[in-house]
Structure 1
């Protein structure tokens, strides 16, 4: 075998090794990207937007969140503490009819305290608070941010208008879903999901979120408001 042929064969083998390594690396990168997207859902897209479309920077940030908070196990919530929070929620829900913005502010404070009671960083450390919650409750973070904006910034339409009232009503509904998650559910895991929870939970014990008593109560507020306007 000539020296030239040996060199050609060696170069071909080296190229094959490099190509294989690149293929494996790309495969792992794609799998990691898919895992982060599945885990974070809308939070993944939000991170990409915040990094001006730089998916690698967004994924580094999300991966760091998982490394920091992924092994955290929320503290058990004693039944009596859960009942206290449920009572506070009920009071805020009843107040929504006449004072929706005040009710949202109370619910915003309630959710921050409940998250802290479960062991998450407190709301006064807002960035850490949201990062930790995004790892364990990513599907609720959009609603939580919406609640924060409606309760604290006054950015929503004025509460006396139909648009403002509807925005606050939707924020309240999404807040209830997050309340149920913090008070009753386990953190992120493959067994979590609405269908699995519904199969395990008797109907009488299931939380009311986007239908049932909560929506009925908030819709009664809409009728009450319209009645006052008409009079």
Structure 2
């Protein structure tokens, strides 16, 4: 065989090996990227699904949907207004825990809407928030579970306090404020 034929065989072999390696490595790289993006939400989605590939497709679809949203950051003035409102919610908790919890839920939903997140459907909120706000999402779920307990269920003042603390985590992440000025309701 001539040298040219050997070169072609070597090039084809290199291309085939590179394709096989890419085929084997791509899912691992995709998985790592999704883990980094979604954090604990990645694990939660995988656990809830019977099929890892289907769960990862769902997470990728969340990213695609999220990319289409017209999201924006809050202005400094808006951040100050919302932070003031949050402090008022926490102060209201002392005299009206139930009302404060309802207001905390409303305030977080208002901020989501102001930022550009659709707010009509809780499950869609979770999916949309999971792309950029995965870290506090477990807190939001826990708070929402307390707020939406059936009327016949007992919701104690301690449960409400816990929910406010959980809402605070998402509030801070959405508004982009540190935690020091918002710690009136003790963790």
Shorter-chain TM-score range:
0.7 to 0.9
Partner of 1:90: 87
| Larger RCO, structure (CA 8 Å, separation 6 or more) | 2
1:18-74 deviation digits (Å, cap 9, x = unpaired): 66533321201100001101110111011112213x211110000111122136563
1:105 aligns with 2:97: no
Whether the aligned pair in 2 keeps the contact of 1:40 and 1:134 (CA below 8 Å) is yes
Residue 218 of structure 1, CA deviation: 2.5
Larger radius of gyration: 1
1:60 aligns with 2:57: yes
Partner of 1:115: 112
Task: Give 1:26-175 correspondences, 5 Å limit.
Answer: 26-52=24-50, 54-70=51-67, 72=69, 74-121=71-118, 123-154=119-150, 158-160=155-157, 165=158, 167-175=159-167
Q: Under a length normalisation based on structure 2, what TM-score does the superposition of the two structures give?
A: 0.78
C-alpha separation in 2, matches of 1:115 and 1:129: 9
Residue 120 of structure 1, CA deviation: 1.2
Structure 2, gaps ≥5 residues long: 2-8
Whether the aligned pair in 1 keeps the contact of 2:143 and 2:163 (CA below 8 Å) is yes
Q: Under a length normalisation based on structure 1, what TM-score does the superposition of the two structures give?
A: 0.65
C-alpha separation in 1, matches of 2:115 and 2:73: 7
C-alpha separation in 1, matches of 2:64 and 2:162: 33
